Amino acid sequence: MGLSAFGSRAKSASFPSTAAVFISRASSPPHRFSRSFSLPAPGARTWGGGRAPAARPRRPLPGRLLLSFGGRRPASATAPPPATDRGGSDETVKNRSKKSSKKASSSSGGSSSKLPPVCYEIITLKTKKKKKMAADIFPRKKPANSNTTAVQQYHQQNINNNNIIPAPNWQGLYPTIRERNAVMFNNDLMADVHFVVGPPGGTQRLPGHKYVLAVGSSVFHAMFYGELAEDKDEIRIPDVEPAAFLAMLKYIYCDEIDLAADTVLATLYAAKKYIVPHLARACVNFLETSLSAKNACVLLSQSCLFEEPDLTERCWEVIDAQAELALKSEGFCDIDFQTLESILQRETLNAKEIVVFEAALSWAEVECQRQELPASIENKRKVLGKALYLIRIPTMALDDFANGAAQSGILTLNETNDIFLWYTAAKKPELQFVSNARKGLVPQRCHRFQSCAYRSNQWRYRGRCDSIQFAVDKRVFIAGFGLYGSSCGSAEYSAKIELKRQGVILGQNLSKYFSDGSSNTFPVWFEYPVQIEPDTFYTASVILDGNELSYFGQEGMTEVQCGKVTVQFQCSSDSTNGTGVQGGQIPELIFYA
């Protein structure tokens, strides 16, 4: 940065017309000196008391000169370099009076008068203007008549492998190495290797540059520069999808991560195969963020294949809490047999056993198609194998068994008779099926009121909405709400519960519950648990219809610690019946964590 002191002296000092002296300190504000000086003429006295040596004849640098010495003379120099004034007299270093120093100080804003111990620069002085930064001196050029940057143009063109002839000095269009490197992404220019990516019938030929690839992947380094490197101009990769390979190349060339839901698994496979750990971690994070009951079973199968324990654990959390949704999803039929066994023997599945049974039959039907077998009862039982006995059929409700499993045809006659005897006989027969019910998940309850009360004509429900907003610091699954009941004895209420995020309904249910006249809370459940992401406010609402007066909460808390989960509450604008943070309805959130 140039000194304002020199800006004020530019006109009075005898500087050459093409060069002037500026003293700067990197990354610091302009400094003001109590002494100003000009470069000494040959023969003039200098700081050391002697005379400056005669100027050596040298070819002048057009536009600027650089000095590498600071406020003191460098060891390699005996005097400051001379400067010649083209149209004026030479000046020597002179001490300014205090008066002129104060005057100059006031004009420069009163900056420090100490000499900075840093490098000096001599750059071109045109007018008294604010110094420009490098980005201003070397502006980034843009293609004419274009609404996008050159880099974006190249990115779009390279995604389609539609390379154009670059400008003669295309390197000058991009000020950073990252941008210049990005131009080479999927570009035939200077390519020294090509990849034929994809299975037969769906291949795509992609260009590459060995040096760039070797810098981004140890596998590519060994492939091109290792001891067993093969000098091939074309490499076939049939086990990687072209879109996934392009996503990996884009990360290596452009330092950009571009993931999509339909290609992220294939990209993770490519990143694992070529040992690109940061891209693999980004893929796992993407999968964890987009994880839901619809894809949890498929991701569970893939996470075991990729040896990603964190992703595996997250998949189990979703499958356990939203088991019925996961088992009914289309993705469940795409899992392998080993994953099927793991799910069927899971102790914490939060699902009815009839749902587990029906999901297993659906998987068997699709598996018959994969093995090109007719979807007969015999073949379904054959592909299920020993996994059939992991279904806990004896723990079903009798109605579910009689109307479902017993009439499915998948069980033998002896198995059906033995299970009926298991339900009804005092002496139960031995079964090959697991007869112990699953433990499931234990719901947690977050109670937000410290006390409850009732008063005459205080709290009634006439179809108005009670609502509250909440947020959690960990991912949970809301299973339902705990609600107050009648304060005047036993009564029945009709309840419509709803859970929204930014106005979008995530779950709702309409049901009835009976209260016994106590101040206890009574659970009302959603059809399926709703996944709640951390650090986001959700709106819990309930519309109750009942003729009796009800208990209501008071001394509400804005933050409640429930196990390892912290829940925050705030008022909701949807509440029209008086419920808020301090008092009202919806005293409990029931969730799985």
Residue 430 falls inside a structural domain: no
Contact by Cβ (8 Å): 260, 283: no
Closest among 150, 254, 176 to 209, alpha carbons compared: 254
Structure-model confidence comparison of residues 165 and 356, the more confident one = 356
Q: Which domain holds residue 93?
A: 1-131
Residue 487 has, within 13 A of its CA and on its CB side, a CA count of 16
Residue 430 has, within 13 A of its CA and on its CB side, a CA count of 0
| Residue 71 confidence (pLDDT) | 42
pLDDT tens-place string over residues 23-33: 333 344 444 33
- CATH number, domain containing residue 394: 1.25.40
Same domain, 210 and 339: no
Same domain, 218 and 117: no
3-state secondary structure of 391: coil
Confidence of residue 580 (pLDDT cuts 50, 70, 90): very high
Can you state the angle between helices 337-344 and 296-306, rounded to 10 degrees?
120
pLDDT average, residue stretch 531-550: 89
Same domain, 280 and 301: no
| Residue 130 confidence (pLDDT) | 43
- Whether residue 457 is predicted with pLDDT greater than 60 in this model: the reply is no
Residue 431 falls inside a structural domain: no
Amino acid (one-letter) located at 517: G
Same domain, 264 and 216: yes
Q: How many residues does the chain have?
A: 593
Residue 437 falls inside a structural domain: no
Residues 6 or more apart in contact with residue 257 via CB below 8 angstroms? 247, 251, 279, 282
Residues 6 or more apart in contact with residue 359 via CB below 8 angstroms? 327, 328, 332
Residue 491 falls inside a structural domain: yes
| Residue 169 confidence (pLDDT) | 84
Same domain, 282 and 309: no
pLDDT tens-place string over residues 4-55: 333 333 333 333 333 333 333 334 444 433 444 344 444 444 434 444 444 4
What is the four-CA torsion angle of 264, 268, 270, 276, rounded to 10 degrees?
130
Return d(Cα 340, Cα 363) in angstroms, integer. 9
- CATH number, domain containing residue 245: 3.30.710.10
Distance between start and end Cα atoms, the chain: 57
- Furthest-apart CA pair in the chain: how many Å? 123
336: tokens are 């392998």
pLDDT average, residue stretch 183-210: 93
Q: How many domains does the chain have?
A: 4
* pTM score, whole prediction: 0.68
Out of 131, 163, 196, a domain closes at 131
| Residue 161 confidence (pLDDT) | 52
Out of 372, 392, 424, a domain closes at 424
Residue 145 falls inside a structural domain: no
Out of 264, 289, 314, a domain closes at 289
3-state secondary structure of 545: strand
SS (H, E, C) 100-130: HHHHHHHHCCCCCCCCCCCCEEEECCCCCCC
pLDDT average, residue stretch 407-416: 93
| Residue 491 confidence (pLDDT) | 85
- Whether residue 103 is predicted with pLDDT greater than 80 in this model: the reply is no
| Residue 164 confidence (pLDDT) | 55
Same domain, 499 and 561: yes
Give the other-Cβ count within 10 Å of 200's Cβ: 7
Same domain, 449 and 588: yes
| Residue 229 confidence (pLDDT) | 86
| Residue 158 confidence (pLDDT) | 52
Residue 434 falls inside a structural domain: no
Same domain, 281 and 338: no
| Residue 53 confidence (pLDDT) | 44
pLDDT average, residue stretch 63-90: 40
Counting residues of the chain whose pLDDT is more than 70, the rounded percentage is: 71
401: tokens are 């068994």
Same domain, 281 and 157: yes
Contact by Cβ (8 Å): 121, 68: no
Same domain, 236 and 368: no
